[in-house]
Amino acid sequence: MTKLREDIRNIAIIAHVDHGKTTLVDELLKQSQTLGARENLEERAMDSNDIEKERGITILAKNTAVEYKGNRINILDTPGHADFGGEVERIMKMVDGVVLVVDAYEGTMPQTRFVLKKALAQHLTPIVVVNKIDKPSARPAEVVDEVLELFIELGADGDQLDFPVVYASALNGTSSLSDNPADQEATMDPIFETILEQIPAPIDNSDEPLQFQVSLLDYNDFVGRIGIGRVFRGKIKVGDQVTLSKLDGTTKNFRVTKLFGFFGLQRDEIQEAKAGDLIAVSGMDDIFVGETVTPTNAIEPLPILHIDEPTLQMTFMVNNSPFAGREGKWVTARKLDERLNQELQTDVSLRVQPLSPDSWLVSGRGELHLSILIETMRREGYELAVSRPEEILKEINGVLCEPFEMVQVDTPEEYQGSVIQALSERKAEMLDMVNEGNGQVRLTFLAPARGLIGFTTDFLSMTRGYGIMNHTFEKYAPMIKGQIGGRSRGAIIANETGQSTHYAMMAVQERGILFIDPATEVYEGMIVGEHSRENDLTVNITRKKEQSNVRSSNKDSTVVLSTSRILSLEESIEFLGDDEYLEVTPESIRLRKAILDKNVRARDSKKKKVAED
């Protein structure tokens, strides 16, 4: 008879973005016997870095463990956004079951499908938590039906289809087995009890030879690279001499210098771990995701973990604008190279390829993945320039293929025509249209990834901000010929270096939308706005009105200047054209032409037209 570790459960919390995973984990921590009396739990405590807290998204998978009635429940809080799907799929190998969190109003969404597909492929036992049951617009019965349909569509087996459902409001700390909001109780016990009853306990084969597989990476300046994973078999102790089976088939021996266990918000040093435990191991500098630690006399590596390949790439460069070095702490090629290589220590979905001494091709899982890296670097004091994102093409069976995304749009009915037309122009194929009632429509498309680059801003404009769009990588398919998407309007470009003036901006604002405020420092070749036509427009944005004895220079200052549109980092990346760069510093984000001089730019453009003809 198989022996089990009945005192342990290993689960992952999975969900679409903003359906309440991290808030639910907070409540499980609060209501278990885990936190000490002095530990103060912040809201969304598991989202530990500043960008996660600001954006309300989980970027990196997090480990925690709670104590409940003498049982340890190891919990992994996973990202919901598909750009960080590389984190999700590896976590599925570490656990025996998943808690699928679904919004009681929104129901199943693109990332719900993405994360559930990964879980079902690993034959994990599911529990469904219908969250935000307290919403006035909650529709729990319909949402459970949607979830069941999704399970069937994704090929769930009979046991998986018989999933238990718990209804909860993580924000209020309540839950119940009833779908009636009035039956909610101020406790998470129904979730804890369902986990203990339904999720299989890990097999206790700790008397067999060790197998520990790395699923996540961390890095610490004191101990170097740390491999986080699960002990699938046997025991591991501090001081053990073990063998690491590398991805390329080679092996390396090392000594385990430190072991860490997870409990509450802490990572505690431990001396020993055994089958079923989720732990962190240090002692080897080049340990990597998917590699297996075994005894030196019983080398038996586990199957290598699959990691989805990047689909989007950008060129990162040393900043060479006229304002280079003014605001950044780290500006040299050596420092940028060190930082990108440091990121590779923990982010296995990222690829970095040097193009020249001053530039690198950086590939990731999507615009959000790469923009988070850029934002993190600028906050750390780095200065750099980046190019427009491009999709990564692949040759499959002799055919050139491009990545396609599954796109789900929720929009008021009056805007559906505009959305359908705009996505059709970007070569998207509409797969489904469902009238949700309340004047809302849900549209599903399959679209080439390059057609979605720069589309978010247009989408929000055409739906007056009421539309919600989510998309996730679906597959590689034969490339669609011709230009898709891209910006339809030109740029307004400064032709002088200096400070922008109210007077000059008054004259220019009728020609398009400005991206800067008065008294902003600009340089020749810097983009200061979007032209209302498709061609670029070069202007003197620093021009001052001459004083005379007839009119004073501030005579027109009573004329109202239109509010400028200040672009965020993501919006700036979306705006970029093929011949443009984004300059990023700790204090500023500036759009610019790759060639700053107007005359040189014109000659270069003529040469390209001649070459094309």
Tell me the per-residue pLDDT of 536-551, one tens digit each, with 9 for 90 and over.
999 999 998 776 555 5
pLDDT of residue 40: 47
pLDDT of residue 550: 55
pLDDT of residue 342: 87
- For residue 460, what is the DSSP state? H
Do the Cβ atoms of 312 and 370 come closer than 8 Å?
A: yes
Asked whether residue 525 is marked as a ligand-binding residue, the answer is: no
Asked whether residue 22 is marked as a ligand-binding residue, the answer is: yes
CATH 2.40.30.10 fits 211-295, yes or no: yes
Backbone angles phi, psi at 426, to 5 degrees: -95, 20
Between residues 307 and 312, the one the model is more confident about? 312
> Tell me: the pLDDT tens digits for 464-519?
888 888 787 888 999 998 878 777 889 999 999 999 999 999 999 999 999 999 99
pLDDT of residue 243: 94
Which CATH number among 3.90.1640.20, 3.40.50.300, 3.30.2130.10, 3.30.450.20 corresponds to the domain 8-198?
A: 3.40.50.300
- pLDDT of residue 58 exceeding 70, the answer is no
- Report how far residue 333's alpha carbon sits from residue 329's, in angstroms, rounded to the nearest whole number: 13
Q: To 5 degrees, how large is the angle CA 35–CA 14–CA 8? A: 50
Asked whether residue 306 is marked as a ligand-binding residue, the answer is: no
* Sheet with strand 97-103: strands edge to edge: 62-68, 71-77, 8-15, 97-103, 125-131, 165-169, 174-176
**Radius of gyration for the chain, computed over Cα atoms and rounded to the nearest angstrom:** 27
- Report how far residue 311's alpha carbon sits from residue 449's, in angstroms, rounded to the nearest whole number: 8
| The two structure tokens encoding residue 549 | 């004895």
- The SS3 assignment for 143 reads helix
| The two structure tokens encoding residue 382 | 């780095």
Question: What CATH number is given for 491-547+555-573+591-612 in this structure?
Answer: 2.40.50.250
In 20-114, the DSSP E strands lie at 62-68, 71-77, 97-103
Asked whether residue 512 is marked as a ligand-binding residue, the answer is: no
pLDDT of residue 559: 62
In 155-250, the DSSP E strands lie at 165-169, 174-176, 211-220, 224-233, 235-237, 241-245
| Residue 583 identity | E
Asked whether residue 341 is marked as a ligand-binding residue, the answer is: no
Asked whether residue 492 is marked as a ligand-binding residue, the answer is: no
> Tell me: the pLDDT tens digits for 250-300?
999 999 998 999 887 678 899 999 999 999 898 777 888 889 999 999 999
Give every CB contact of residue 355 below 8 A, 6+ residues apart in sequence. Answer: 315, 361
Asked whether residue 23 is marked as a ligand-binding residue, the answer is: yes
> What average pLDDT is seen over the chain?
87
Between residues 100 and 610, the one the model is more confident about? 100
pLDDT of residue 613: 64
Question: What CATH number is given for 394-478 in this structure?
Answer: 3.30.70.240
> Tell me: the pLDDT tens digits for 108-138?
887 788 788 888 988 999 999 999 999 999 9
In 413-511, the DSSP E strands lie at 429-437, 440-448, 468-478, 491-494, 498-499
Give every CB contact of residue 207 below 8 A, 6+ residues apart in sequence. Answer: 234
- pLDDT of residue 84 exceeding 60, the answer is no
- pLDDT of residue 164 exceeding 90, the answer is yes
pLDDT of residue 28: 87
- Count the Cβ atoms, other than its own, within 10 Å of residue 323: 18
Q: Which residue bears the tokens 């079951």?
A: 97
Do the Cβ atoms of 128 and 104 come closer than 8 Å?
A: no
pLDDT of residue 266: 76
Do the Cβ atoms of 462 and 419 come closer than 8 Å?
A: yes
> Tell me: the pLDDT tens digits for 175-221?
999 999 999 999 999 999 999 999 999 999 999 999 999 988 887 77
Give every CB contact of residue 38 below 8 A, 6+ residues apart in sequence. Answer: none
Round to the nearest angstrom and report the end-to-end CA distance of the chain: 76
pLDDT of residue 445: 95
Asked whether residue 585 is marked as a ligand-binding residue, the answer is: no
Give every CB contact of residue 306 below 8 A, 6+ residues apart in sequence. Answer: 89
Residue extents of the structural domains in the chain: 8-198, 211-295, 394-478, 491-547+555-573+591-612
Question: DSSP string covering 492-516, please?
Answer: EEE-S-EE--HHHHHHHGGGEEE-S
- For residue 203, what is the DSSP state? B
- Report how far residue 114's alpha carbon sits from residue 110's, in angstroms, rounded to the nearest whole number: 6
Backbone angles phi, psi at 336, to 5 degrees: -65, -40
Q: What percentage of the chain reaches a pLDDT higher than 70?
A: 90
Distances (CA, A) of 287 to 233, 239, 554: 19, 17, 66
Asked whether residue 132 is marked as a ligand-binding residue, the answer is: yes
Q: Residue 118 belongs to what H/E stretch?
A: helix 110-121
Domains 211-295 and 394-478 are alike in CATH topology: no
Asked whether residue 133 is marked as a ligand-binding residue, the answer is: yes
pTM: 0.79
